[in-house]
Structure 1
Amino acid sequence: MKIEKFKFNETGLNRFFGPLEAKIMTALWNGSEMSIKDVQHVLEKEKAVNFNTVMTVMNRLVEKGVLQKRLKGRTSMYQPILSKEEFIDAQSKELTHELIDEFGSLAVTHMLDALEEVDDSLLSMLESKVKQLKKDE
């Protein structure tokens, strides 16, 4: 699944989703399979959200391939297709490939420059990955 619009000026899940979509995804990732009413109840703790609005957004997330929907009796139940970690991994991988495809070595150079600002554990993990890639050649 590829999210078509990545928003550089946003943070967190709002880079991939609209504000309500992000709240719905967070509710579903923090819980289990939920109905529209269940999600609306979680969101109402912050502020009132119309049932029909929640239903429309959740069905849009199904169309985008982020949620799956099944019937339990007469109630539609929703759950994320991927865990939050799997989703972030897939999106960051897709974004990285797109940057390298479009900008090539310039994107790689900037990624390497950014390593000056990361902690040592991330740098060690990267070094291990590079060593593994060289072994596989």
Structure 2
Amino acid sequence: MKIQNFKVGATGMDRFFGPLEAQVMNILWDMDHPMTIKEVLASLQTTKTLSFNTIMTVMNRLVEKGALTKTGESRSFHYEPSESREQFLNNQSRELTHELMEEFGSLAVNHMVDVLEEVDPQLIRALEDKIKQWKKET
């Protein structure tokens, strides 16, 4: 599944999904079992009252995007994430990194190394270890 609209200024799952979509995905990931629309609706923590139809529309759009799978029959559909949260984040970060490298090449690498030092100096050591491992394998 490839997210089409990555939002740079957002945080968490809102970078990949709309706010309500992100809430739905987080509920399903946290529960770790298939859920009905009613169950998801009951689990939502919002200040607004949301209708069954709104949640049904959001969940069916997530199915269309490939983020959820839908099983069952008409009145008892169950939804679950098509991949775990960890798999999703791994796949999305890999795709984003690939696109940055493809489009910006050495600029992206230079900026990533600069940011590694700012964010966590241990990430530089992890990068060095990865490069050493890669050199041994080639």
Percent identical: 56
Partners of 1:30 and 1:37 lie apart in 2 by 16
TM-score, with structure 1 as normaliser? 0.93
* Matches for 1:82-121 after TM superposition, within 5 Å: 82-121=83-122
Aligned residue for 1:42? 43
Unaligned 5+ segments in structure 2 are none
Give the aligned length: 136
Relative to its length, the structure with more strand (as a share) is 1
Per-residue deviation at 1:110? 0.4
Per-residue deviation at 1:9? 1.2
Per-residue deviation at 1:116? 1.3
Aligned residue for 2:15? 15
Per-residue deviation at 1:88? 0.7
Partners of 2:90 and 2:24 lie apart in 1 by 19
Residues 117 and 124, structure 2, Cα contact 8 Å, conserved in 1: no
What is the letter of the counterpart of residue 117 of structure 1?
E
Q: CA RMSD in A?
A: 1.4
TM-score, with structure 2 as normaliser? 0.92
Aligned residue for 1:53, secondary structure, equals helix
Unaligned 5+ segments in structure 1 are none
4+ residue segments displaced more than 3 Å: none
Partners of 2:136 and 2:73 lie apart in 1 by 50
* Matches for 1:49-68 after TM superposition, within 5 Å: 49-68=50-69
